[in-house]
């Protein structure tokens, strides 16, 4: 499957429509359309926020806080936040936070936070958000997607989403946890994947943690793990695997 980039120029009428959806702009108080068009070109923000609202508003029973933060120091930043007051409640809270920022001349998006009420999980909602997001990422020329895999079984979920683990200390900690909980035979399979990667890539920052997620006996260990991950949208293999997973 291919997703073609689309061009878009945000205008003041769309900014007004975004506000009518209940989103509050903070940071830069005027010429928001000009700021976004300059620093986050081709972002169809109105469409994206409409999609987020359509997908997430039916899954919660409480009022929703909706914010768009525009910052210009030290580098341009666009932050989208969508959350209920009880967002920290593991079973009932809802929250989505995405940060677009520039890093070494490349546009990056950080999936800062995502939580669904327990009753709404495993229903394909996260994939719908990914599908809507990915079109905008491609439009904008986002290079990388960053995540912190921890909450709501995120260590397993993000691994299954083909994110690569950035930090070897974190993968080593998962390996140590596996050693203490798995049988020697199962641990051998886990350690073999670890050794194969880091022997070839001693300073590697893209450990294929999905290979651990494919082992049934690693599911519970990954569900309790904590690691930082990335998908490089300019890497053909990572991009293709991610597309296939999101639209499966």
**pLDDT tens per residue across span 38-92:** 999 999 999 999 999 999 999 987 899 999 999 998 899 999 999 999 998 888 9
Beta bridge partners of 230: 146, 164
pLDDT of residue 122: 84
CA distances for 213 relative to 54, 174, 240, angstroms: 31, 12, 18
Phi-psi sector, 153: left (phi>0), alpha (psi -120 to 50), beta: left
Which residue is associated with the tokens 């506000």?
19
pLDDT of residue 27: 95
pLDDT of residue 151: 65
Cβ atoms of 143 and 108 closer than 8 Å: yes
**pLDDT tens per residue across span 153-170:** 788 988 988 999 999 999
Rounded average pLDDT per 10-residue block, the chain, 248 residues = 88 97 93 96 98 94 94 94 92 94 95 89 90 95 92 82 94 97 97 97 94 96 93 90 86
Cβ atoms of 239 and 231 closer than 8 Å: yes
pLDDT of residue 202: 94
């Amino acid at each position: 499957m291919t997703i073609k980039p689309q061009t878009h120029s945000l205008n003041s009428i769309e900014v007004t429509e975004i506000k009518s959806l209940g989103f509050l702009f903070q940071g830069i108080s005027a010429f928001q359309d000009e700021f976004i068009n300059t620093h986050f070109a081709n972002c169809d923000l109105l469409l994206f926020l409409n999609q987020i609202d359509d997908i997430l508003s039916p899954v919660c029973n409480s009022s929703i806080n909706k914010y768009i933060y525009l910052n210009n120091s030290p580098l341009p930043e666009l932050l989208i936040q969508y959350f209920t007051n009880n967002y920290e409640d593991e079973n009932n809270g809802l929250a989505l936070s995405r940060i677009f920022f520039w890093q070494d001349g490349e546009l990056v998006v950080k999936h800062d936070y995502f939580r669904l009420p327990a009753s709404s999980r495993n229903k394909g909602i996260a994939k719908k958000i990914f599908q809507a997001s990915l079109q905008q990422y491609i439009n904008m020329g986002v290079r990388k997607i960053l995540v912190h895999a921890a909450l709501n079984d995120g260590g397993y979920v993000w691994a299954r989403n083909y994110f690569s683990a950035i930090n070897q200390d974190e993968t080593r900690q998962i390996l140590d946890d596996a050693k203490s909980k798995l049988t020697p035979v199962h641990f051998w399979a886990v350690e073999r994947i670890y050794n194969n990667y880091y022997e070839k890539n001693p300073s590697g920052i893209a450990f294929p943690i999905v290979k651990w997620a494919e082992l049934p006996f690693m599911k519970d260990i990954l569900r309790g793990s904590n690691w930082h991950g990335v998908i490089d949208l300019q890497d053909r293999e990572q991009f293709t695997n991610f597309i296939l997973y999101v639209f499966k």
